[in-house]
Amino acid sequence: MGFNISYGIFKGIDECEVLSRLSLKADGRSDFYLEEELAGAPLGNGLYFVFAQDLGFFLGDTWRTKSEWYGEAYSVVVTETSMVAQSTKWDGNNKIWQVTHDSQQSIRHLETIGTVPSSYQKLVREAEAKQAAEPDGPMSVDWFYEVPVELVRLETGFRYDLLHDAVEKQAEVLRPAP
């Protein structure tokens, strides 16, 4: 099995505003291991994290259409069962970049939209080198899957499979707001 999740990281937008714009509210319970359908936590450095067990929560642009946005936001969708990862950076309502890897298209598949960060090329070179050294076959590691996920980690310090201390200590269960 594997993770099939989506999450958003928000910068320059306070927690209350993020939750309001996503039509969510904290219900007062802790979720240190991100086992609930929705959870949120401050990450420090002005970042706020929202986690969803639902792949569709942060997929595409629909989560942004509820109201005007400001500040930076990153959305990440990962499905380890089919080795698909997508990350997007937003500035206000403007999509700055998006990187998608879909191993069903090709193990080396990467699709970009917009102006990707300078770290993108280095991550691609690293993935190419690791993939070239990987034996072919059904048990081989998909190194290109890492590229979209690592781009967000390099910009925010957060990666879904390396739990951040702030998440483990402060994650709260979130529910749809009435």
For range 6-15, the mean pLDDT: 93
* Among the ranges given (9-13, 58-62, 105-109, 169-173), the one the predictor scored with the smallest mean pLDDT: 58-62
CA atoms within 13 A on the CB side of 153: 12
DSSP letter (8 states) at residue 47: E
**Cβ burial 74-91 (10 Å sphere, 16+ → b, else e):** bbbbbbbeebbbbbbbbe
Q: Reply yes or no on whether the pLDDT at 138 is more than 80.
A: no
Tens of pLDDT, residues 71-127 = 899 999 999 889 999 999 999 889 999 999 999 999 999 999 999 999 999 999 999
**Structure-block tokens of residue 102:** 């879909």
In angstroms, the CA 38 to CA 52 distance is: 5
The 3-state DSSP class for residue 82 equals: coil
Return the HEC string of 129-171.
HHHHHCCCCCCCCCHHHHHHHHHHHHHHCCECCECCHHHHHHC
Global pTM value: 0.91
Sorted by sequence, the CB contacts under 8 Å of residue 49 that are 6+ apart come out as: 7, 8, 9, 10, 40, 41, 42, 43, 158, 164, 166, 167
